[in-house]
Structure 1
Amino acid sequence: MSVASTAEPRTTPQENPWRSLVVIAFGIMMVALDGTIVAVANPAIGTSLGATLAELQWVTHGYLLGLAVCLITAGKLADRLGHRRLYLVGVAGFTVSSVAIGLSSGTGMLIGFRVVQGAFGAALMPAALGMLRAAFPATLLNRALGVFSGLIGTSAAAGPIVGGLLVSSFDWQAAFFVNLPVGVLALTLGVRYLPPNRPTDDSSSFDLLGVALLTVCTFGIVLALVFAPEHGWTSTATVVPGLAGVVFGVAFVLWQLRAPHPLMPMSMFRSVPLSVGTVVMLIMALAMFGVMFFLTFYVQGVHGFTALEAGLQLLPLTALLAVGPPLASRLFDRFGLRWPILGGLLSAATAMFGMATLSADGGTGLLPLWLTLLGAGLGIVMVGATDAVIGNAPVSLAGVASGMQQTLLQLGGSLGTAILGAVVSGHVGGNLAGQLTAAGAPTPTPAQVAEWQTVVAQGGVVIPPGTAPATAQAITHASHLTFVNGMSLAFVVAGVALTLAAAISALLKRGEPTGEAVVHV
């Protein structure tokens, strides 16, 4: 059948879409904040529960898996059951699981509840975006998406700061208990002020096979991306789940082409803006999360800044990711999708190539300028790519499109840290011995290089016991130089990826408006 969306407002005279946006902001911020707040809480969790480094990593990975695996399926459920209903279920479940995490007596229990928390976050996010898609007319949709993206950016940037205050003032449990009052407030406001529940997909059957195939596909790919930095890209731990993810992904696409009621109709991708938006969103997330990951190592490990000072160094980026998207939405009102997205990607690519010139010696140089260009560019692209994906899907598939957008964001972030991490680690492994020898330090054995590689690839230094001060200084300089050169290479890779995304975004027609496509399903 043919599903055509309309540019007219979909609310009754008594409903206010902007009020709905304010209400769901509490749920949105709770999920985004929890994605980054745990990084600060991890050391305290390790001390309190006696957790190993691998277990602490799974405190983060478990949340990512629960979130990424369930997003698209949760979006489909929101279309079937109603976005308001699934949003409230997501808020309630996220709040309860947060309290359960804080009450955990062991790392196994904590990790299990983190997976559950991620799954409820997956129910919340696409339902919230779906409500925006259904509530706002095309003339206002990208402004709403700009505010939405700004809320996510603000919350993610505030996570380490809020987490640091809570953990230092109380204990690690406070980083999760804080969701209790926020969740109760979000539920209270949601029940009172959100518009009536309206399912947008009235199909009589649910694509259970599609759900199963997509779940295994996403789980395998995310698991491979999680294991790759630790075990290597060619290890069994990486290859087996990655290969399984690809195989089940192909099977999912083939099934969607013939399923009578597909989970994600492939006909959605007949829309050029939607297809371009998926690629741009993935590459944007790759660059954004990958760069933030390594810049933290650079300013703290190489230049010795404290965590607070490092946060201040990254302020131009985080501030623009917070305030830029709402302002950027005005550009899309005036120019459509093509030119703002193209300009934002080129600005971000320029910043990447600029940061590739950062050095291990001296200060941070032009870093504030590059971060300003990067934040401004990514803030524009985030809104534009989100609008291209969600605004060009029919209202009946708003939840599926929203889940896909969030999945791309999560997968892109994992790809960024995994791929750019492999670039940095590979450079360190191949050049550390030569740099140490050139600096006058003893040439390390291959076993020592393998042992030191992970530390140096994160901006650290390994000084053997009893090393003379002059030799220790030479090792430090050579290690930092090797890391920075590897980081520069990674930034060039990210810059090339963003340039490629800019070329792809040029496929959008000149002045093409946002939203409201007709999609045949």
Structure 2
Amino acid sequence: MASTPVDHSAPAPGTAASPQSTLERLRANPWLALIAVSFGLLMVQLDGSVVAIANPAIGKDLGASTAELQWVTNSYLIALAASMILGGKLGDRFGRRFYYLVGIGGFVVTSVAIGLVGSIEGVIVFRALQGVAGGILMPNTLGILRAVFPPKRFPLAVGIWGMVSAVSTSLGPIVGGLLVEHVDWESVFFLNLPIGIVALAFSAVVLAESKNSTGHHRFDIPGVVLLAAGMVALVFGIIKGETWGWTSAGTLGSIALGLALLVVFGWYETRREHPLLPMRLFRNRSLTTGAVMTLLNFFVMLGGIFFIMLYLQNVRGYTPVEAGVSTLPMSIASLFASPIGSQLTARFGARVTIPLGLTLSAAAMFSMLTWTVDSSYATMWPPFVAMGLGVGIVLPATAAAIIGNAPVEDGGVASGLQSTMLQIGGALGTSVLVTVIAGRVGSTLFGELTAAGVPTDTAHGLQQAEDAVTMGIAPVAGDMPAQLRAAVVEGSGQAFVNGLHSAVTVTGVLCVLGAVAAVIGIKSRAEEARNTSARSADAPEPAVAVAAH
């Protein structure tokens, strides 16, 4: 691989090292680059889960409607999903370090603006802009690692990257709960200011610039527009599917429009000399399968965390901080699982590691079938550990399958593809599983209420509160007699648990099917080695410029 040389020679005896040579040594250290990108990753992932805890306080303080409050989350997710591949392409073409720093700066500025704006409309607008900044930042984290780590070390780097990602997401409820309870909701966003300043300062010093040496050519603006429009329509349809209904004209129309635009985007990209997203990447079976497995992994992770938090807080009565502390076994398991997953992937390949992780996640889901309205914590922590291990093992394996099978010059685009699949998987997980829970709650609520001792007429009236029960909230009123109130709480809790059992069954089955698909779709280590040797013999690797400035 051609690159611009960096002088690592020692200074002459008796002379002090020049500032430039010291800077070059810092920027030649890939582990410092890993630390630098971990700061940005921590900021984005922590923010995503912290804000979920802050939403009720935001709604109360700013007088937001339920629909407006949903857009605090949805505007961020849609903007993030729509901009990730573009962010990776910008880094590949014009400089990964530069766009990583731009993403951090934008994320910090929009975070502070959210805390200061003082209106729900302003919060929604700046959350969307924050999503764009995150979309520029995130793919360039892995793009930078792909450029600076040698192939043998790259899986380990991705494992540590995955560990930071998983732990940041899991710590969100604890950090968010503490800040909202003891400070205010604005502090959730102001937290990004000190993290971002440290990230900018450290990254500016230790990161070397890297980008493609492809010469001058016109940027694919039509591709950007088609991809962004398709992703916005698709993710919007997925998000609204739970509230509008999956068979409603609005949901089906939005999803169909999004898919149609993405098909047109794919057709258009095959006719571009320098496309935004090279379609040739999908000729690699392992890369394509890895992208689908990434979607499934975050379907499990974010969808699972969503209904677990509903169960802990609304059915069991835990505070947000207590719920966050209760799921620490999941965080700790993820902490160890990601580096282990990267090492297993380096030794045995993603074809072995991904099915292993998905099998653990399936075991976690099926073990939650034992949960009841008053389960002890002893029945909870084993599936938390299994889920943390499963998700943590799969994350670096899918990243290796996607980014490791992409040419170095497409590292940012491949990272953007992976990050996009993460967001789509998370949106699908929460939306689809809420629908599954709602369907089961609707079919069993009346029976569970009457079985708990609620009179038939009252039970019929309470069926109108199906939406509340789907969230784990018992539809009790202050003037209800104590005995009736207890019966409503018991029946509603049981109906929600029925829905939870349906959700974990669906998720567990998907994990089993995903494990089988990974074995079929991902190449063995021997096949990968043969293909790599053939590619090396047929053509030289395109140049990637790396500079220490």
Work out whether the TM-score is over 0.5.
Answer: yes
CA contact (8 A) 1:85 1:197 kept: no
* Offset from partner CA, 1:215-270 (integer Å, 9 cap, x none): 11110111112212222223344233222112112211222233332221221112
Secondary structure of residue in 1 paired with 2:196: helix
Q: Which residue of 1 aligns with 2:65?
A: 52
Q: 1:410 aligns with which of 390, 404, 423?
A: 423
CA contact (8 A) 2:91 2:211 kept: no
Q: Which residue of 2 aligns with 1:486?
A: 499
In percent, how many aligned pairs have the same letter?
40
Shift of 1:482: 1.1
Shift of 1:105: 2.0
Distance in 2 (alpha carbons) for counterparts of 1:115 and 1:107:
13
Q: Which residue of 2 aligns with 1:162?
A: 175
* Offset from partner CA, 1:386-440 (integer Å, 9 cap, x none): 1101111011111110011001001100100111111110111122112222333
Q: Which residue of 2 aligns with 1:30?
A: 43
Q: Which residue of 1 aligns with 2:189?
A: 176
Matched, 1:115 2:128: yes
Q: Which residue of 2 aligns with 1:321?
A: 334
Q: 2:147 aligns with which of 134, 139, 155?
A: 134
Structure 1 residues 449, 263: closer, same or farther in 2, change over 3 A? farther
Distance in 2 (alpha carbons) for counterparts of 1:453 and 1:158:
31
CA contact (8 A) 2:30 2:145 kept: yes
CA contact (8 A) 1:80 1:202 kept: no
Mean Cα deviation higher: 66-75 or 248-257:
248-257
Q: What residue identity is the alignment partner of 2:336? A: V
Secondary structure of residue in 1 paired with 2:356: helix
Mean Cα deviation higher: 207-216 or 399-408:
207-216
Q: Which residue of 2 aligns with 1:454?
A: 467
Q: Which residue of 2 aligns with 1:351?
A: 364
Q: Which residue of 1 aligns with 2:258?
A: 245
The aligned runs of 1:81-120 (5 Å cut-off) are 81-120=94-133
Q: What residue identity is the alignment partner of 2:467? A: T
Matched, 1:69 2:65: no
Structure 1 residues 193, 376: closer, same or farther in 2, change over 3 A? same
Q: Which residue of 2 aligns with 1:270?
A: 283
Structure 1 residues 446, 302: closer, same or farther in 2, change over 3 A? closer
Shift of 1:308: 2.4
Structure 1 residues 171, 305: closer, same or farther in 2, change over 3 A? closer
* Offset from partner CA, 1:367-390 (integer Å, 9 cap, x none): 211221121111111110111011
Q: What residue identity is the alignment partner of 1:317? A: M
Mean Cα deviation higher: 221-230 or 277-286:
221-230
* Offset from partner CA, 1:27-80 (integer Å, 9 cap, x none): 111111111111222233223322222222211111111111100111111111
Mean Cα deviation higher: 475-484 or 492-501:
475-484
Aligned Cα root-mean-square deviation (Å): 2.5
Distance in 2 (alpha carbons) for counterparts of 1:444 and 1:500:
43
Mean Cα deviation higher: 32-41 or 459-468:
459-468
CA contact (8 A) 2:111 2:189 kept: yes
Q: 2:435 aligns with which of 411, 422, 443?
A: 422
Distance in 1 (alpha carbons) for counterparts of 2:106 and 2:214:
24
Mean Cα deviation higher: 221-230 or 430-439:
430-439
Matched, 1:334 2:347: yes
* Offset from partner CA, 1:423-481 (integer Å, 9 cap, x none): 11011112211222233312358984563111111111002454332222222211111
Q: Which residue of 2 aligns with 1:302?
A: 315
Shift of 1:503: 0.5
Structure 1 residues 352, 198: closer, same or farther in 2, change over 3 A? same
Secondary structure of residue in 2 paired with 1:138: coil
CA contact (8 A) 1:339 1:511 kept: no
Q: Which residue of 1 aligns with 2:306?
A: 293
Secondary structure of residue in 1 paired with 2:211: coil
Distance in 2 (alpha carbons) for counterparts of 1:172 and 1:312:
20
CA contact (8 A) 2:174 2:325 kept: no
Structure 1 residues 237, 442: closer, same or farther in 2, change over 3 A? farther
Distance in 2 (alpha carbons) for counterparts of 1:10 and 1:503:
45
Runs of 4+ displaced beyond 6 Å: 8-12, 513-516
Which structure: larger Rg? Answer: 2
Structure 1 residues 274, 449: closer, same or farther in 2, change over 3 A? farther
The aligned runs of 1:148-159 (5 Å cut-off) are 148-159=161-172
CA contact (8 A) 2:179 2:187 kept: yes
The aligned runs of 1:191-202 (5 Å cut-off) are 191-199=204-212, 201-202=214-215
Q: What residue identity is the alignment partner of 2:513? A: L
Distance in 1 (alpha carbons) for counterparts of 2:5 and 2:352:
29
* Offset from partner CA, 1:185-221 (integer Å, 9 cap, x none): 2111222221134335546122222211111111011
Distance in 2 (alpha carbons) for counterparts of 1:438 and 1:447:
13
Distance in 1 (alpha carbons) for counterparts of 2:385 and 2:29:
35
Q: What residue identity is the alignment partner of 2:140? A: A
Distance in 1 (alpha carbons) for counterparts of 2:176 and 2:324:
13
Q: Which residue of 2 aligns with 1:438?
A: 451
CA contact (8 A) 2:174 2:320 kept: no
CA contact (8 A) 1:348 1:378 kept: yes
Distance in 2 (alpha carbons) for counterparts of 1:77 and 1:12:
27
Shift of 1:324: 1.9
Matched, 1:222 2:235: yes
Shift of 1:123: 0.5
In the superposition, the TM-score normalised over structure 1's length comes to 0.93
Q: Which residue of 2 aligns with 1:125?
A: 138
CA contact (8 A) 1:79 1:201 kept: no
Matched, 1:377 2:379: no
Structure 1 residues 448, 400: closer, same or farther in 2, change over 3 A? farther
Secondary structure of residue in 1 paired with 2:405: coil
Structure 1 residues 209, 448: closer, same or farther in 2, change over 3 A? farther
Structure 1 residues 383, 474: closer, same or farther in 2, change over 3 A? same
* Offset from partner CA, 1:261-292 (integer Å, 9 cap, x none): 22212211121221110111111111111111
Secondary structure of residue in 2 paired with 1:440: coil
Distance in 2 (alpha carbons) for counterparts of 1:313 and 1:99:
30
CA contact (8 A) 1:149 1:325 kept: yes
Structure 1 residues 489, 256: closer, same or farther in 2, change over 3 A? same
CA contact (8 A) 2:178 2:321 kept: no
Q: Which residue of 2 aligns with 1:386?
A: 399
Shift of 1:321: 2.0
CA contact (8 A) 1:388 1:514 kept: no
CA contact (8 A) 1:337 1:513 kept: no
Structure 1 residues 302, 170: closer, same or farther in 2, change over 3 A? closer
> Tell me, which stretches of 5 or more residues in structure 2 are unaligned?
9-24, 543-549
Distance in 2 (alpha carbons) for counterparts of 1:352 and 1:281:
18
Distance in 2 (alpha carbons) for counterparts of 1:200 and 1:495:
45
CA contact (8 A) 2:83 2:135 kept: yes
